[in-house]
Amino acid sequence: MINWKGVAYRLNYKSEKEMWEAIYTDQKLSVSKLADQFGVSHTAIRVAMERCGIARRSRGGANRKSSIKWPLDDELLFRVELDGIPTVAHQLKLNYSTVYKHVRELQKERDAATQPAADSTNSEDKSTTSKTFSS
């Protein structure tokens, strides 16, 4: 078992909790990266942080919608139409498939928003046509 208090002291932190807050919460290093740097398992890092009351971040990292720099709206669609998905993915530092998925979602939302208007127009045309033939 690792003496995390000793590790924290050697790294010039007053306590183990202060160390985890600084390197995990403030510096935003991932559990994987910390495990690699300390030469231990992910579980060892997770258990040590839990013991100190450090809340873990949600999974997903850069591909989560909340971390995308451009708004997920018409601007994204415009950029994709202009530059293409690979270029936009590279600019956003996202996986190609993540950008593709968000673009598809936006296109579906856009289609759904325009579809009811088209349906109501068609129903009006049908009622007018039926009235014309019934007279």
Q: Domain range spanning residue 42?
A: 4-51
Answer whether residue 69 is part of any domain.
Answer: yes
* Per-residue pLDDT at 55: 85
Distance CA 27, CA 37 (A): 14
Are 37 and 71 part of one and the same domain? Answer: no
Residue 77 forms part of a structural domain = yes
- Is 56 inside any structural domain? no
Domain count for the chain: 2
43-100: pLDDT as tens digits: 999 999 999 998 887 765 544 555 555 566 777 788 888 998 888 888 877 778 878 8
8: buried, middle or exposed (CB in 10 Å: 19+, 13-18, 0-12)? Answer: buried
Statement to judge: residues 29 and 74 lie in one domain = no
Domain assignment present for residue 132? The answer is: no
* 69 and 101 belong to one structural domain: yes
- Residue 134 in any domain: the answer is no
